[in-house]
Amino acid sequence: MNLPNKLTISRVVAVPVFVFLYMKGFNTAAFVIFCLASLTDMLDGKIARKYDLITNFGKIMDPLADKILVYSAFCLMVENGIVPSWMLIVILCREFVVAGMRTVAASEGIVIAAGMSGKIKTVLQMIAVPLLILGKPDIVMTLGQVFLWAALIMTVVSGVEYVYKNRQVFSM
């Protein structure tokens, strides 16, 4: 297994640690784990592209690892009342639609690459979560909410863009 794939796996392995720390109220430690895990997302992609280490495993697991990390955090924050449940529902609906479309396309031998708006959505989410974890002072929580709303808007925009650009999937 190459280094980028190991970094992707480390992001998935970090999730239970992050969840445990957050649930026990160790927000600073949870913040650090989340940030380190988020950095592996950037690092694994750069290494894979630079050294031509792109694999099918990485193409599938890298975005999945991002989702596991971010949506675990959002679930915890719904429970704490930091993230409204309807926001998480909108975010998850977009992900299920995109995953379904990718599955249908893959069954026809078509690979649908992630668009820039989807990447921006992920970055905004990965900025919102640590700010929301810290939450203090109030300006940090407010900034976290601003990034959360920006991520939600990009979630909708990227979902609509994805469906429109790949509408041929609906006729397969």
What digits encode the pLDDT tens for the residues 86-99? 999 999 999 999 99
Query: Which ranges of the chain have pLDDT less than 70?
Result: none
How high is the pLDDT of residue 108? Answer: 87
- Sign of the C-alpha dihedral computed for residues 100, 105, 106 and 112 taken in this order: negative
> Between vectors from CA 40 to CA 35 and to CA 45, what angle results, nearest 5°?
140
Residue 70 near residue 83 (C-beta atoms within 8 A): no
The residue among 97, 74, 96, 102 whose CA lies nearest residue 18 is 74
**H runs (alpha helix) in the chain:** 3-23, 27-50, 56-79, 85-107, 116-134, 138-165
Q: What is the pLDDT of residue 112?
A: 80
- How is the chain split into domains, by residue range? 3-171
In contact, 130 and 107? CB cutoff 8 Å: no
Neighbours of 96 (CB within 10 A): 10
CATH topology for 3-171? Four Helix Bundle (Hemerythrin (Met), subunit A) (1.20.120)
- Give residue 129's pLDDT: 98
Cβ–Cβ under 8 Å, residues 83 and 77: yes
**Would you state the pLDDT for residue 113?**
76
Rg value, the chain, Cα: 16
The Cα–Cα gap between 32 and 101 comes to 34
Predicted TM-score (pTM) of the model is 0.91
